[in-house]
Amino acid sequence: MGAIGLSSKGFKIGNGIFGNHGSKMGSIKQIVHDGDTVNTRLTDNIGVRFLGIDSAEVSIPLPGAGFVYLKNPDWEAFFTSGKWRTGLKVNPDLLQNLQERIGDGNDVAPNHARHADHAQKSLEAIMQEDMDKSGKAASDFVLFMAFGHEFLDGTGRLLCYLNSDGKNFDDPAVAKAVAKHSYNERQLASGAAMPYFIWPNIQPFLLGSPFAPENIRPETFWKTVQRSSKLKSARKSVQDARKAGKGVFDPQDPLRLEPFELRFISRRKPPTRFIIDLAQPGSNRLLAPQLYYAIPNPEDRLFIPGEYRMLFEHLGWVVEGV
């Protein structure tokens, strides 16, 4: 576990130490701001999960075996043997859709491993390019974080849009150019990652407070979508990557299973997020979680966690496919 993680009972827990006061660790008097505020630092690394994108998995729990790298032959055997279907409680239509893409299982896991390797190298190259432009050493290179509605995911990773901080660059023009697109967006544009827009953590892709009724009611939700330039740009970059056959859309070696599909197969649990089809403006349909594949282009899917279903229904959305 890093600085923040999960307890055996599912709570997010972590460890901190006294925060700095100037260049040195502060005393109790120096770190206590008032009766309910203390300056601290984390004792260990903290993971960052990029919002708005989903890249192929390097490793994931293999049922009955714990975390296993996708390049491990055991994953290949899992698919070729047909064991991927065992205990997977999804409806017949979704199972058929998965079966059509998995086929006899050959190359499903190696395909995922290849795309995971490409995504990792792509991100490394993006970050290295920015650091080279800055002329700074890693110890002096600053990362900029922009957060959505929620700050932590279920495993204690920060949820954010990550980028190189403009302060890294002496040339204002370079700083402006780098700031225009986060690492998240650059991974989408290169085809290294799939889009994964999940409400309510979609700022800055979707403007405004996600829980404001006017941003949920169908008749006004679509107005918010239309004026969200970041969302339009992100979706357009994915469309362009697909047309160009980049990365996950390579016609010679497309990503066979989307990362979230591999995860729910691994967990033996069906998907739980409802979906809005962004390609159907004006619609008030909220599709059932297992109908995600009915929206063929991933940039057109806006996922809504199941716990918010009643809120959306209350404000005018109609659930279909349950």
Give the model confidence (pLDDT) of 20-67 as tens digits.
999 899 999 999 998 889 999 888 888 999 999 999 999 999 999 999
Task: Tell me if the bond preceding 195 is cis, omega within 30° of 0.
Answer: no
Whether pLDDT at 238 is above 90: yes
Give the model confidence (pLDDT) of 252-268 as tens digits.
999 999 999 999 999 99
Give the angle 140-143-146 at the CA atoms, nearest 5°.
160
> How far is CA 302 from each of CA 25, 73, 128, 187, rounded to the nearest angstrom?
44, 34, 31, 18
Q: For tokens 């109790």, what's the residue?
A: 28
Give the model confidence (pLDDT) of 266-314 as tens digits.
999 999 999 999 999 999 999 999 999 999 999 999 999 999 999 999 9
For the chain, the structural domain boundaries read: 1-46, 47-320
Whether pLDDT at 15 is above 90: no
Please tell me the pTM assigned to this model.
0.92
Give the model confidence (pLDDT) of 182-234 as tens digits.
999 999 999 999 999 999 998 888 878 899 999 999 999 999 999 999 999 99
Per-residue burial over 258-292, b if 16 or more Cβ lie within 10 Å, else e, is bbbbbbbbbeeeebebbbbbbeeeebbbbbbbbbb
Euclidean distance between CA atoms 159 and 149, whole angstroms: 9
pLDDT at 257: 98
pLDDT at 2: 64
pLDDT at 8: 64
By the 8 A CB rule, do 76 and 67 touch?
Answer: no
Euclidean distance between CA atoms 77 and 302, whole angstroms: 33
Whether pLDDT at 1 is above 60: no
pLDDT at 16: 86
Tokens at residue 154, please?
């279920």
Q: How confident is the model at residue 168 (pLDDT cuts 50, 70, 90)?
A: very high
Tokens at residue 41, please?
């630092």
